[in-house]
Every structure is written in structure tokens, then in C-alpha cells.
Chain A
Amino acid sequence: MSDDIMIEVSNLTKRYPGHTAVADVSFAVGRGEIVGLLGPNGAGKSTILRILSCFMTATTGTVRVAGFDVFHESDEVRRRIGYMPENNPLHLDMRVKEYLKFRARLKGLSFVRSRDRVGVAMEQCGLTHVSRKIVGQLSKGYRQRVGLADALVHEPELIILDEPTVGLDPNQIRSVRQLIKDLGRHHTILLSTHMLPEVELTCSRIIILHEGRVLASDTRENLQHQINGSGQVVAEIAASREELVACWREMEAVDTFDVAPADGEYFRCTLRAANGEDLRSLVYSEARDRGWTLRELSRSQASLEDIFVQVIRREKEERV
């Protein structure tokens, strides 16, 4: 196995009495990547992360982290990962520095080294000025940072974060995301989320999970390309509705379209190309020839939300 692969999951299945949480999932994460596991609640994200972090065992399939099997060599694996579980459980009765020191010692760092590393981790996560505070009295955003500091205090090769920004306010979300991005420069990170902007902003690669199976796994750009080619075009034109509808209907390159009234005499037309070509020049020449006033012409990138919805819809259609 090559040194460049951090996580190798093959044919992973986890069954609980009555239902299958994860069904035959395989994926790999390379060293240095920031990968997002994306899926609605109940898609099996947490289960996969718990198996990766050796908290649970798989029903079938193998998982290797940094070349070590999570079942047979769980000690080696646990030494190499920093894991922040869902809802970030902490010992609320301890002080920040005390807690991090406890965790560092627990992870086998020597006395001197744990002191140094706790200092660095607190610095990195912006906790230095609250180091004497009791964890239970911190705001949720700061608690999240304590969880992150715990995950990275022993300089793990892989950081696993389960829903790292859930329950935070927008400002806190931004700062935690920035923190994750910064961490990504030195660590491999695997995070799970059901929030699309999260992976959109932080992750280099996305794995979409639904009902325990991997629906798609690719970079964001590739996924966008896969879903809707060159994207859709939005044009705001001043013309009569009938004229516009007739025009788009005639145009062969247009697959589907939508005309909605905007303010004044303008209509907002959303056009999707039949064969993935860029419609902008066509729309422009059409407007010029007919003498329409064109005030906006843009090609919208599919947002992750679109990708997500599309992938799940496509999956459903295939099954029917």
C-alpha cells in the first residue's frame, strides 16, 4: 500500500439490529486532503467516523488508517488520529488548560512535551486567553475550539471531525471553518456535515452519502461538471412573455427553460442547455437581432445544494 493513502475503506458494512447503517462503502483519502462526508441526517456519516476512530467495529469490510487496521491494530490507529465526536463532548468541570493537558497525557505525550503541545494547540485555536476558564462556562464556539485543540494536541496524522460546526452562530461557524482550513495545511482532515456550504468552503473533495451508500465521490469542480455540464444561464430581458417563450422553444440548444416576471417589463429566463454547451453567446445574439434590452446574462455554477439534490434524485430514478 502506498504511503500517500491515509484512509482506505473497503466494502465497509455496519448493521444494527433491524437496519443497515452503512452498506458496502468503499473510499480512500490521500495524505494531505481535506475530505468532506456529506449527507442528510441518518446517512451513516457518524457511523463511518466512529468505525474509523476505533470506537465501533464494522460488521464486515476492512478499514485501514495510515496502513493500520482499525480492528486489529486499533492502538496504532488511535495514536495517529485526533477525533472530535458529534456534539463535541468535553469534561465540563475541568479548566481548559487542565483538560487539554489531561488529554495530551492520555494520548501518551511526555510531561514536558504535553506542556509544549498544549501551549501550541491553545495558540492555534485562539484559546490562550481563556486557558484558566472552566470548560462548562465557555460559549459553544469556544467549546468547539477546545474540542479541536484536543483533536490536534498530539499532532495526529489524521483529524476526524464529526459535524464540527453544528449549533454554532454564523460568526463562530466562520471562525471554526477558518481554523479547519488552517489545520488542513499540515494535517489530513476528514469531516462530516449535512451543511453544504461547509464542504463547499473547506473541503477539496466531497463524498456524498445517502442511506448508507456512497453516491458520489469527487472534487467539487468535477461533481459540478458531472451534474450539469456547463451550467445554466440566467438572462433578464425586457420583452413580452409570449415572445420569450416562443423564442426559447424554437432554439434547439435549449433543453428546458423557465420564464418568470422580474420587476418592471423584465423577465428572468433560466435556460438549461441540451448538450452542455455555453448558451450565453446564443442568447446575446438573439437579443441583439430582436432588439431586446438585455440587462443581465450570467452562467450560474451549480451549487453544492444542486449537486446534492441532483445526485439523490438521479439515484432514486435509477432505482425505480
Chain B
Amino acid sequence: MQVYFTLVRRELGGYFASLTGYIIIAAVLLLLGLSFVEVLTKLNAAPTDAPITEIFFVTFYFWIILLLTAPVMTMRTFALERFSGTYETLMTAPVGDLAVVMSKFTGALVFYILTWLPFLGYILIVQRFATGGFVFDPYVLGSTFLGLLLIGALYMALGCFASALTNSQIVAAIISYALGLALFVLSLRSFMSEAGSSLSGRFFEYIAMTEHMENFARGVIDTRPLVLYPSLTVLFLFLTLKVVQSRRWR
């Protein structure tokens, strides 16, 4: 446990000791801010009863931000250490492979959550300046962040896996872009097939991330994504662990 916490601290420190972390946060904030202004402009034109989170996450802005920034957040996890050689000092210390994988994943996930926290500020700003019947619902906000966490965890695990495969951060980013976009494209299939009509239709409906996120942002917590995302996350973490362990039989 000591090793795990020491490593998580180091991972987070790695984001903030260099400029990388701040640059990623700044980039996310810029994108978030721009999209939010866009959403509010539309809201001004056509008032609606839907919660502000739903209005934001139904648009593609969220997905663009997630798909663009997740690989950048995770590309350093293993690739950088391999490239700089510190992977050797790390793995020759008495640390377990699982602790290494989990700490890298935790570090990335905590950082990911940190980049999304400013979103709370936007909500507060709207609440401060909105006139009339704007209702701030903490439960809806909670379920939105649950959705953000679940989908983020999957993308972080996927990114760690990609990063473990190579010692080049660029290659790691490309692999996780490919995998992440593939998941996203598959989840768009549900728009094309008729829901529930066939096995494949049901399958694509089940993995439709955009719809899951829409539900979360609306305040609906469905148990299906609650199972899907953690199990996919565990799968990718397991694969990462296997890649890390592979140095023992390569």
C-alpha cells in the first residue's frame, strides 16, 4: 500500500512538476469554455427545461474534448518512463507489477477528474447570472460526474495499456487515439440500426456511449453502463498488467 500511494503521488507530481499538466488543463479549459459559451448562446435563443448538464453533454463538445485529451493525459504513463530509463529503476525496486499499473491508472484518473472540476465553476456562474427559473440540481450534477468518472476511467485504462506497449509517447498517443475513436465510432452505430430489432442492434445499443452519457447528464443512472464501463476498465488494466509482466518471459 505504501508503494502504491508513493507512486500515485509521484504520478500526480509528474503532471504538475513539468508544464505538461498545466498545459493539458489549460487546453481543456479553453475547449470547455468555448463549448460552454456556444451552448449558452443556443440556450439564450431557445429556452428549455432540460438541466444544463444535459444540454452540454448531449452536444458533441464533451466527446471532442474527451477523445482529444484522454490520450495526451495517459501517453506519458509508461512510455515516458521507458524512454527516459527510469522504468528500470522503478522495476528493480521492490514494487509489485500490479501496484505499478494501478498507481499509473489512479494518477491519470485523478488528473482527469481535476481537469473536469472547473466545469463546476461554469455551472455556478450560470446559477449566479441566470434569471428566472434556473434550478441547480446537485443530484443531476452528481450523476453527470459519475458518468464522467466511468467513461474517463475506461479511457485512462485504455491509454495506460497503449502507453505500456511502447517507449514512444507519440506512438502511445496514436494507439490510444485509434482505440478510443474505435470505441466511439462503434457506439455511434446504434443511431444507424433500429434499436432492439436484432441482436446486433441490441448490442450496439448496449455499448452506445453517447446515449449513456446523455442519461447520466439527465440524472438517469442505468445499471447497464455501471457494469459495462468498470468491466471494460478492468479488462484494459488487466491487459496492461500482462504487458508489464511480459518482461519476465520475453
For chain A, residues 9 to 58, give those with C-beta under 8 angstroms from any C-beta of chain B: 50, 53-57
**A89: interface (CB < 8 Å):** yes
For chain B, residues 4 to 55, give those with C-beta under 8 angstroms from any C-beta of chain A: 6-7, 9-10, 13-14, 17-18
- Closest Cβ–Cβ distance, residue A19 to chain B (whole Å): 15
- Residues of chain B with a CB closer than 8 A to A56's CB: 247
> Chain A interface: which of B84-92, B109-117, B234-242?
B84-92
In the complex, A87→B89 CA distance in Å? 11
For chain A, residues 64 to 104, give those with C-beta under 8 angstroms from any C-beta of chain B: 71, 75, 78-79, 81, 83-87, 89-94, 102-103
Which residue in B3, B84, B85, B248 is a CB contact (below 8 Å) of A106?
B3
Which residue in B85, B94, B249 is a CB contact (below 8 Å) of A108?
B94
A108-B2, A108-B3 known; A81 vs B86 contact (CB < 8 Å): no
Closest to B99 in A: A106
Q: Which of A55, A79, A94 has the most CB of B within 10 A?
A: A55
**B227: interface (CB < 8 Å):** no
Which residue in A93, A94, A150 is a CB contact (below 8 Å) of B89?
A150
Interface contacts (Cβ under 8 Å), in number, total 68
For chain B, residues 220 to 250, give those with C-beta under 8 angstroms from any C-beta of chain A: 247-249
What's the tally of chain A residues with a CB closer than 8 Å to chain B?
Answer: 29
Closest to A134 in B: B17
**B93: interface (CB < 8 Å):** yes
Q: Which of B18, B248, B249 has the most CB of A within 10 A?
A: B248
A78-B94, A93-B17 known; A105 vs B2 contact (CB < 8 Å): yes
Which residue in A81, A84, A91, A102 is a CB contact (below 8 Å) of B6?
A102
- Closest Cβ–Cβ distance, residue B54 to chain A (whole Å): 40
**A107: interface (CB < 8 Å):** yes
CB atoms of B89 and A83 under 8 A apart: yes
- Residues of chain A with a CB closer than 8 A to B92's CB: 53-55, 78, 81, 83, 85
CB atoms of A57 and B6 under 8 A apart: no
Closest to A79 in B: B94
CB atoms of B18 and A89 under 8 A apart: no
**B95: interface (CB < 8 Å):** yes
- Residues of chain B with a CB closer than 8 A to A93's CB: 13-14, 17-18
CB atoms of B93 and A85 under 8 A apart: no
Which residue in B17, B84, B94, B249 is a CB contact (below 8 Å) of A107?
B94
List 6 contacting pairs A-B, 8 Å CB cutoff, sorted by A.
A55-B247, A71-B248, A83-B92, A102-B9, A106-B6, A150-B89
